[in-house]
Structure 1
Amino acid sequence: MDAASETLDRTTELTVRQARGGRGPATWGQRAIHSALLRLGSDAPRYNLRLAAPVAPGLAPDAVLRAYTELLHLHDALRTRLLTEDGDLVQVVDADGVLPVALLHRDTPELAAAAAAELVAEYAAEPFDPAREWPVRLALVLVDGLVRQAVIVLSHTAADGWGMRRMVRDLMLLSAGRTAEELRAEREFAQPLEEAAEQCSPRGRRRDAAARRHWREKLALGPRALLPRPAAEPDPERPFPYAVLRSPALAAALPVAAARLRSSDATVLLAAAATELARLGGQRGFLCQVVVGNRFTEQSAEAVTTLAQEGLFHLPEIAEDFAETVRRAQGPALTAYRHSGYDKPQLDADLEQLRSSGVELADHSVFWNDTRDPLAALMSDGSEQPGSAERELSFPGAFPARPGVSVAVDVVVVPGAVELRMVVDGALLGREQMVQFLCGVEELVLGAAG
């Protein structure tokens, strides 16, 4: 780090006055993430969302600071604190307050990128105090007086990946001179207090009850063990291997396969995953938790919030013909998506009550997370570079043991390709079986696309 540049580093403040404010019950998403962070303890920062993005060709710092301030006025989630009162979680939206912003100065774009990467890692490694601080950390890195890097870290209590991408899009519009008032007038979106009010309404309570009933019914029907269990108790410190399949062909084939099978590409992928994992486990049926990252109404689609939607997908029988499996999967997939919004701490209590009464629940330790979003491919943070046109399969490393997880697969859009990112319990599946699964999913989709 250049000594002269370091001395120019400083902190400024964004001031919010007379924004929307209020107090009310926490949303289902806030409750779910807040509970998860409490369980994680010192490991909670791994849920933080982060972005260190290049700003080209560079902007005046006053313009970006103005945009940051407008962003805080636009989205209430960025000014929301979570407090526990009388045993219940409450959200408080502050109408007034200040937020520090670090301003770093570097001599070259390369040094600016390095400083941004270092700072975003530092910000993301620190847990948020949800009761006392706003769930956002901001910084700018300047070269020759212009902003060349923007650093943003959010608590997961404020947004999920979908919401963060909407926030970044809005920041780009605000940096170009728009105002929070203009953007709010152009589109409708739910703020967290409005979202909570809907969930507490009679319609919201019915939705919650129906979703939790769906979980209880499906967990009584699904396979008790999706994968063969080891004879001996596995080492609790065992690593969970991580594999990545990067496939340009899969990205091209998905829309073709979906059109031929008259289904959505998300259902085609999910059916392929069900087929391959059931084959590895020797099962006729399949059950998994589907992380539902998309939104189904205009109010939620444009919202910066965290939904923490996990649906339960149950396919009673895999067909011999993949096209038939896709057809069978469409109804269960829609049902899983429809019942993905609920009060998760209450569901956890429901399931614990069933276990205590001697009910053996179906194995729901497989997680499928299709993160693809139309905005994702348009908002590269510079860390993903176009790769080869050929398929690439790698094992980047391993993760610490994940309680309650046997297999977790993320579907991610990267420049020119789709990636399948797989983490497994090494006591249940080995590298060879991970390769069989990843390549099998790809081959099923390519075959369906012809």
Structure 2
Amino acid sequence: MPDLAADAAPPLVATLRLPVRFAAAGAGTGELSWGQRELWLTMRRQRSWLPIGGWSRLAPGTTLGDVESELRWILRRYPPMRTRLRYSGGRPLQTVADRGTVGLDVYDCPDGEDPEAFVIALDARDRARPFDLVEEWPVRMGVVRHRGAPTHLSTVLPHLVTDGLGGRIFLAEVADRTETDPGTPPLEQARWQASEAGRRQNASALRHWERVIARVPAASTVESGPYLRGEFRTTALPLAVHALSERADADSSQVLMTLLAMALPGDGPAVLRPMVSNRFRRGFERVVAMVAQRGLCAADVAGVPFAEALRRVGAAAMAAYKYAYVDPDAVAAAFARAGADPDAGLWCNDRRVASRQGFAGPVPSTEDVRAAPPGTFRWTVAQDDPFDPLSVDIDDDDDGDGGGLLLTVFTDAARLPAAAAEALVRRVETLAVEEVS
């Protein structure tokens, strides 16, 4: 989705384009890996190249040569940064180059303008521009100069390059030019997935999916749209989740998934589609690539106490995590055979960093939880291009006063109207506070 800031930005024309030549090992052409394939299908469904990346301030004294050197190092080390698509019979393949030239754009911010505002506008513009995954190298990098000195850098990538954790690994490695084992790149992943061992893995995972798909509602005949995006900021929820996690000796993600399951409307089993990091697999721990995939689980939580719901969701989620490493095309075929809704359930993504491994400070008391004000909600986007039908992303709230959570809800209003989607995330907070009390 284009960033609205791009519409108001002044024309941005590069002063010059520096050719950055690279050479690296690992060239070849092959199928997309399962992680890439799943992301590709998401891009097709959402009609977006799903830009990621961002802008940063450059250290004083940084030269254009320094930025060129960094870009050349990135292209050499990370195969997804030099991977483009080609088509065979309408099916996308990945083509990894062993040499090439990428343009590094340089922009001069006018003397009287704020270079930070300038790079924000540049970043928004590069996210909004269409992306040709066949012809373009998958990195748009632009340097902003102010009064002749490089001050800021914008780097925008298609999400096909890496998942969120891979992005954080990338930033850490670029900062100190890490030269440790980069892990198994997507082209090698795809070769293993096509092997006999890979086919066994897929068959095992698919049996799990077929068992859960049997509990999924039939395919929907409701027309889609509009698609809405809203933000719920809460300080009460993380306090309550901290307390509940300690009380039950349970992972906070399991607690949040349980609350989401209990908050879902309807009488049948709660169907959840968690985003799963497959980085526990050998060679994936530190790879900069797209290896996260959706899992599928279902749990009967209606009318049961929280402790029992926590147990049921935990068991179902564990299987979902184990079997998320699967061929997305085989999953789609399984849904079609069963006549089940491939968009069913709540798609959830726990993207927290600061509080994912543990909350800071002492365990909140019941009084602390009760004293926290209710969260605030606002709708931010309405569009015709689809999001996932019903999705909640969970982040540490960096824009608040600290210590809060941000729940971003996406909904197809034809399937779950705006009022019901807002009620869902508010219900998560209410259930958590009531359980602590």
- TM-score scaled by length of structure 2: 0.82
Q: CA deviation at 1:325?
A: 0.8
Structure 1 contact 188–298 (Cα < 8 Å) conserved:
no
Q: Are 2:175 and 1:172 equivalent residues in the alignment?
A: yes
Q: 1:198: which partner in 2? A: 192
Q: What's the counterpart of residue 234 of structure 2?
A: 247
Match of 1:334 in 2: 318
Q: Any idea what SS the aligned residue of 1:184 has?
A: coil
Match for residue 346 of structure 2? 366
The 5 Å alignment of 1:36-55 reads 36-38=42-44, 43-45=47-49, 47-55=50-58
* Alignment-derived partner of residue 17 in structure 1: 23
Secondary structure of the residue aligned to 1:147 is strand
Mapping for residues 399-414 of structure 1, pairs under 5 Å: 399-401=382-384, 405-414=388-397
Unaligned stretches of 5+ residues in structure 2: 1-11, 358-371
Asked whether the 8 Å contact 2:17–2:105 carries over to 1, the reply is yes
Q: What per-residue deviation string (whole Å, max 9, x for no partner) do you get for residues 160-192 of structure 1?
A: 22222222222222xxxx3xxxx233x452212
Instruction: Provide the secondary structure at the position in 2 that maps to 1:49.
Output: strand
Aligned with 1:211 (options 205, 218, 223): 205
Change (3 A) 1:184 1:146: same
Matched, 1:76 2:79: yes
The 8 Å contact of residues 276 and 295 in structure 2, kept in 1 or not, is answered as yes
Aligned pair 1:311/2:295, yes or no? yes
Residue 154 of structure 1 is aligned with which of 152, 157, 172? 157
SS of equivalent to 2:136: coil
In 2, the alpha carbon distance for the partners of 1:9 and 1:362 equals 48
Secondary structure, counterpart of 2:119 in structure 1: helix
Hey, what's the Cα distance between the residues in 2 that align with 1:97 and 1:189? Answer: 23
State whether residues 241 and 395 of structure 1, in contact with CA within 8 Å, keep that contact through their aligned partners in structure 2: no
Task: Say whether residues 1:437 and 2:424 are aligned partners.
Answer: yes
Deviation at residue 114 of structure 1 after TM alignment: 2.1
The match for 2:260 is 273
What are the residue-to-residue correspondences of 1:409-424 with 2, within 5 Å? 409-415=392-398, 416=402, 417-424=404-411
**Structure ranking higher in helix proportion:** 1
CA distance in 1, matches of 2:24, 2:293: 32
- The Cα of 1:430 is off from its aligned counterpart by 4.4
Match of 2:8 in 1: none
- For 2:277 and 2:382, the matched residues in 1 are separated by 23
Q: CA deviation at 1:159?
A: 1.6
CA distance in 2 between partners of 1:218 and 1:109 (Å): 60
Structure 1 gaps, min length 5: 1-5, 378-388
Map 1:122-141 onto structure 2 (within 5 A): 122-141=125-144
Distance 2:112 2:270 in 1: 50
Partners of 1:365 and 1:409 lie apart in 2 by 11
The SS at the match of 1:15 is strand
- Give how far 1:435 is off: 3.8
Identity of aligned residues (%): 26
Q: 1:403 to 1:146 in 2, by over 3 A?
A: closer
The answer to whether the 8 Å contact 2:388/2:410 transfers is: no
State the distance in 2 between where 1:447 and 1:201 align: 51
Secondary structure (helix, strand or coil) at the match of 2:279 reads coil
SS at match of 2:58: strand
In the alignment, which residue of structure 1 is the partner of 2:331? Answer: 347
| Structure 2 match to 1:384 | none
Change (3 A) 1:109 1:395: farther
CA distance in 2, matches of 1:354, 1:234: 18
Matched, 1:113 2:113: no
Q: 1:365 to 1:446 in 2, by over 3 A?
A: closer
Classify 1:447/1:313 alpha carbon distance in 2 versus 1 (closer, same or farther; 3 Å).
same
Deviations 1:348-389 (A, max 9, x none): 23332443xxxx558714311222245999xxxxxxxxxxx9
Change (3 A) 1:375 1:160: farther
Deviation at 1:67, TM superposition (A): 1.4
Does residue 184 (structure 1) correspond to residue 183 (structure 2)? The answer is no
Displacement of 1:446 in angstroms is: 4.0
Among 8, 26, 36, the residue aligned to 1:30? 36
Paired residues, number: 409
| C-alpha contact 1:366 1:405 (8 A) present in aligned 2 | no
Q: CA deviation at 1:418?
A: 1.4
Q: 1:97 to 1:391 in 2, by over 3 A?
A: farther
Cα distance in 2 between the residues matched to 1:191 and 1:156 = 15
Equivalent in the alignment of 2:88:
85
Q: Secondary structure at the match of 1:243?
A: strand
> Partners of 2:223 and 2:93 in 1: how far apart?
39
RMSD: 3.2
* Structure 2 contact 45–386 (Cα < 8 Å) conserved: no
Report if the CA contact (8 A) 2:262-2:301 is conserved.
Answer: no
Question: For the Cα contact (< 8 Å) 1:60–1:145, is it kept in 2?
Answer: no
Report the Cα offset of residue 431 of structure 1. 4.6
Please give the per-residue CA displacement for 1:63-89, whole angstroms capped at 9, x wherever unaligned: 222112111111111011222235654
| Change over 3 Å in CA distance of 1:190–1:108 after alignment to 2 | farther
Q: CA deviation at 1:8?
A: 8.1
Residues 294, 351 of structure 1: alpha-carbon distance in 2 compared, 3 angstrom cutoff: closer
Q: Distance in 2 between matches of 1:266 and 1:105?
A: 45
Contact persistence 2:81–2:137 (CA under 8 A): yes
| Counterpart-to-counterpart distance in 2, 1:346 and 1:257 | 38
Letter in 2 for 1:397: T
* Corresponding residue for residue 396 of structure 1: 379
CA distance in 1, matches of 2:182, 2:262: 40
Q: 1:381-426 CA deviation, whole Å, 9 max, x = no partner?
A: xxxxxxxx96541323343256695421111223222101112233
Amino acid of the structure 2 residue aligned with 1:295: R
